[in-house]
Structure 1
Amino acid sequence: MTSLKNELVGTWKLLSYIEVPIGGDDSLFPMGKNPYGLLMYSPDGFMSVQISREERLPYKSNDKLQASEEEMLSSLHGYIAFSGKFKVDNSSAIVTYMIKSSLFPNWKNKVQRRKIDFEGDILYLKSTEPILSNGLHVNSYMTWQRTDRVIDEFFEERIRKELSLQP
């Protein structure tokens, strides 16, 4: 029998991220309807996730530490990132994250759990406990596609353009 950990190991590209309020309100798209994200699980039990809103404001300065308040808010509100260790419970199909680093400092040294489901190269993750998001308690639903063997065409095209501009 294959373990769920072995099925998770690799790199996953975000297809959708939806939050459903516990109170039954309409679903929310906190990173917009076309977010970009990568989720990585390593064989040695580490994980990392990065999710960004497509339409974040670029900084007028090329200095990452020199931004206007509006630029910083757009950057912060349009990004989710954390990393740490992960463990998988095969019997309950739950992955547990022990977060060691997070853009949101309140998640540092905290635990989060996700229910796991697969359909081919698609991974579905659902939060097992509600989180607070924009004043509402919500459950998150994320859909990921395995990308280990697929080249990200957007990234590849952008790199080719940048390389062709250099002398």
Structure 2
Amino acid sequence: MTSIKNELVGTWKLLSYIEVPIEGDDSLFPMGKNPYGILMYSPDGYMAVQISKEGRMLYKSNDKMMATQEEMASSLQGYIAFSGKYKIDNNNAVVTYSIESSLFPNWKNQLQRRKIDFEGDILYLRSTEPILSNGVYVNSYMTWQRMDRSVDNFDDEHLLREISLKN
């Protein structure tokens, strides 16, 4: 039997993030319909995830500590980030996160669980317990794709990003 951890270790890019209210209301897209995210699982049992909403407000100042209230609200509400240890339950296909650091401080020292499913290089993660999001209890559904990155294409990607920002 292949260990789920062997399949999970690596870097994943977010394809979709949907929240489904447990009351049966319409699905929500808290990070918009085109969020950006990176999820990393290391072989030594640590993980980190960052998800950002498309079109977050830029700060007028280039000083990250000099944001307006509106800029800070846009930044915080449009970003999810946490890291910590993870453990795999192979029998139930569940990953448990022991959160050590989080942008949302209430998640620090908490456990979160995700049901795991794979389809080729696609990873599906579903929350196992509802979370409170914008005043509504929801289950989250995330679709990730394994990243096949090499150091060789780093400079090319950086140049392409700079060119697109200038245009």
TM-score of the superposition, structure 1-length normalised? 0.92
* Structure-2 residue corresponding to 1:82: 82
Alpha-carbon displacement from aligned partner over 1:57-79 (angstroms, at most 9, x marks no partner): 00010000001111000000000
- Residue matched to 1:28: 28
1:59-111, Cα deviation, whole Å (9 max, x unpaired): 01000000111100000000000000000000000000000000000000000
Correspondence list, 1:1-167, <5 A: 1-149=1-149, 156-160=156-160, 162=162
User: 1:10·1:148 contact (CA, 8 Å) conserved in 2?
Assistant: no
Instruction: Name the SS of the counterpart of 1:75 in structure 2.
Output: helix
| Alpha-carbon distance in structure 2 between the residues aligned to 1:24 and 1:112 | 22
Q: Amino acid of the residue matched to residue 75 of structure 1? A: S
State the AA in 1 paired with 2:57.
Answer: L
**Partners of 1:40 and 1:161 in 2: how far apart?**
22
Q: Which amino acid aligns with 1:26?
A: D
The count of residues paired between Structure 1 and Structure 2 equals 162
What is the DSSP-based 3-state SS (H/G/I as helix, E as strand, rest coil) of the residue aligned with 2:49? strand
Deviation at 1:2, TM superposition (A): 1.4
Question: Hey, what's the Cα distance between the residues in 2 that align with 1:150 and 1:127?
Answer: 31
Once the two structures are superposed, what CA deviation does each residue of 1:111-138 show, in whole Å capped at 9, x if it has no partner? Answer: 0000000000000000000000000000
Residue 30 of structure 1: how far off its partner (Å): 0.2
Closer, same or farther in 2 for the Cα pair 1:156/1:48, shift >3 Å? farther
Question: Distance in 1 between the 2:161 and 2:141 partners?
Answer: 34
Unmatched tracts of structure 1, length 5 or more: none
The residue identity in structure 1 corresponding to 2:122 is I
Between the aligned partners of 1:72 and 1:156, the Cα distance in structure 2 is 32
CA distance in 1, matches of 2:108, 2:115: 21
For the structure 1 residues 54 and 156, does the alpha-carbon distance in structure 2 shift closer, same or farther, using more than 3 Å as the test?
Answer: farther
Give 1:148 deviation, angstroms. 3.4
SS in 2 for 1:14: strand
Unaligned 5+ runs, structure 2: none
Report the identity percentage: 76
